[in-house]
Structure 1
Amino acid sequence: MTTPDGVDLAVREVGPPDAPLTVVFAHGFCLNMGAFHFQRARLGRELGANVRMVFYDQRGHGRSGQAPPDTYTVEQLGRDLETVLTVCAPRGPVVLVGHSMGGMTVLSHARQYPHRYPSRVVGAAVLASAAEGVTRSPIGEILRNPALETVRFLARYAPRAVHRTRGAAKSVIAPILRAASYGDENTSPSVVAFSAQMMHDTPIPTLVEFLHALEVHDETEGLTTLAKVPTLIACGDRDLLTPLSYSREMAAALPDCEFVVVGGAGHLVQLERPEIINDALVRLVRRATPSRFDAFTRRVRERVNRHG
């Protein structure tokens, strides 16, 4: 699909088009839609034909198109999410799931489109994220590194120089990517390699521009809108990019919120401890659409009794 400003976004839909509920996933910084691999498998297996899932690569990430650097903002990501909803989920209830920068995307959407809640968006999950700039996190000192600003300047005004100095740029950014990974050194090597490849494939301009966006964004107003619907806030207690305090503050502002702290997990909590996050997402879906799932459960029970 193509955004109003002409950027192509890669989208994948899983599940029946006529499912009574759509769940839309927005991935995080330096990742792509593959970051929700375990969630796609579990929700598809457990909720079956009752849910359709929509995944997309944020602008500048994965298979989506590159865009002008001045559009790499959290505000623009909220507008992109609205475009995804308009094109891929024009009718019926929707639950939004955002991880890291994707959680900020959900908050940005809530701030800019409050009329969507709860008339269309009936629930939201914000995983390992923050409602405002991450400069209070342990990586604040890294973000203040003058070399990082130099890389950002080159990415904007001398992109060829960035490609020639890609190794140097990566070395400046490497501590941030390490902070944005796992809390447990025993995490499966295949999962570590999977996320590392997503990060490695992210273009330098995308990386440095969105890193700046994470530093300066403020979407706290979106919490007022999310307070209208059931929510899930989840975070690993070893997250260095968006520490636990950020999630605790968001959860405190949301009256109908389940707050999940995942012990030993880092920033990529949905990959590191998928079973905990998956259980919480299933609970969120049921909380957000109780009547629909009651009816679905009743139909399944009647079918079993009829053929049993």
Structure 2
Amino acid sequence: MSRRAVVRGGLATAGLLGALAVAHTLRRIGARVRWPAERDEYRDENFALIDSDEPGSVLADDGVSLATRTYGDDSAAVTLVFAHGFCNSMESFHFQRRDLARQWGTRVRMVFFDLRGHGRSGTPATDSCTVEQLGRDLAAVVRECAPSGPVVLIGHSLGGMSVLAAAAQFPELFATRVVGVGLWCTAAAEVTATGIPQLLRHPAVGGFRMAVRTAPALVQVSRTASKQLITPILHVSSFHGPVSPTLSRFTTMMIDRTPVSTIEKFLKAIELHDESAALPVLAGKPVLVLGGAHDLVIPFRNSRVLAAAIADSELVRVRAAAHMPHLQFPEVTLDALDRLLTAAGVTGGHEEAVGG
């Protein structure tokens, strides 16, 4: 083995160890999350519900395959398209899929998809892992899965950034088709200015990036080591206060299924993104901005700034939530979605579910 290879491997290992030291610090912060809960209300919940919906795939403009699931048919009054967050998958909208089907029945159609590099979607090239590309991916899903009729777009975290990126690049789509927008725990720009994203600038996380690039086998094979970096961030950022152990395991599994290479590829995209140009496109539309009061990833003040920049938007502060309010407090997000759909002109809620 050459000296250069030895040095490179040593630096990669040092970078990974440095990142794990950051993870240890995060564990101390995460100790404020009280777990396990006194009860487990989701012990018998079917978190594979979305798997029963119609499967499909959409080819992005660069050939990456985007996995989709669709509930409902073309007779629905509106199609809701959901874009999930970083290191999540479409299953993160489990409760919205369950509750909207129960409450709105055949009046709504729902399309879920996995972002590139996440879930069942294809593996992207590094230079395609940008927020702008995610906006193009979202537009492609709308074109293929909801080619006609009114559309409501719901984006959480990185998915919310993709909604804003789509608005900046495809204003005509928003002018003619999009009748409502939900932006949950997200920001238009400067996502790294506050909260846990400051870790993206920490030298140890830089070391983690280098470890993936220079010794990917080291990181990918050592899933235990990479989980020690990711899981503490999950514990800090996802929930606040008591949470169902089953729900916690479900969320952790989404994180664990995300390839380490995907995490590394998107870190820089999150750091650099600026979708401020999208904000005028949303003016005059029903927009729901929702955030958790205890969100350490994208603190609620970012949601407040976002809502202030979009005239007449509704701002919802989920008092007891962190970064995943749609999983921990689905009833709050359902009420907010009801109001968004009503504001968007969709009527006929509270139907009995058909096949829900």
> TM-score, normalised on structure 2?
0.78
Deviates more, 1:90-99 or 1:214-223: 214-223
Gap regions ≥5 residues in structure 2? 1-57, 352-356
Cα distance, 1:158 vs structure 2: 4.1
Matched, 1:38 2:114: no
Deviates more, 1:149-158 or 1:91-100: 149-158
Distance 1:124 1:144 in 2: 31
- Give the structure 2 partner of residue 209 of structure 1: 265
Cα distance, 1:142 vs structure 2: 2.0
- Give the structure 1 partner of residue 180 of structure 2: 123
- Pairwise CA RMSD: 1.7
Paired residue for 1:163, among 208, 220, 224? 220
Identity of aligned residues (%): 47
Secondary structure (helix, strand or coil) at the match of 1:118 reads helix
Higher normalized contact order (CA 8 Å, seq sep 6+, divided by chain length): 2
Cα distance, 1:16 vs structure 2: 1.9
Cα distance, 1:162 vs structure 2: 2.6
Paired residue for 2:302, among 241, 246, 252? 246
> TM-score, normalised on structure 1?
0.90
Corresponding residue pairs, total: 293
Distance 1:60 1:156 in 2: 16
Secondary structure (helix, strand or coil) at the match of 1:23 reads strand
- Give the structure 2 partner of residue 80 of structure 1: 137
Gap regions ≥5 residues in structure 1? 301-308
Q: 2:295·2:322 contact (CA, 8 Å) conserved in 1? A: yes
Distance 2:74 2:215 in 1: 45
**What is the one-letter code of the residue matched to 2:100?**
L
Matched, 1:179 2:179: no
Secondary structure (helix, strand or coil) at the match of 2:91 reads helix
Deviates more, 1:168-177 or 1:41-50: 168-177
CA offsets per residue over residues 21-66 of structure 1, 9 Å max, x none? 1000000010000100000111111111111000001001111111
CA offsets per residue over residues 229-256 of structure 1, 9 Å max, x none? 1100000100000001100001111122
CA offsets per residue over residues 2-36 of structure 1, 9 Å max, x none? 21211111100001222121000000010000100
Distance 1:153 1:69 in 2: 14
Map residues 1-308 of structure 1 onto 2, 5 A cutoff. Answer: 1-156=58-213, 158-184=215-241, 186-289=242-345, 292-293=346-347, 296=348
Cα distance, 1:149 vs structure 2: 1.8
- Give the structure 1 partner of residue 53 of structure 2: none
Q: Is the alpha carbon distance of 1:219 and 1:71 closer, same or farther for their aligned partners in structure 2, counting shifts above 3 Å? A: same
Q: 1:24·1:54 contact (CA, 8 Å) conserved in 2? A: yes
Q: Is the alpha carbon distance of 1:220 and 1:148 closer, same or farther for their aligned partners in structure 2, counting shifts above 3 Å? A: same
Q: Is the alpha carbon distance of 1:133 and 1:165 closer, same or farther for their aligned partners in structure 2, counting shifts above 3 Å? A: farther
Deviates more, 1:109-118 or 1:193-202: 109-118
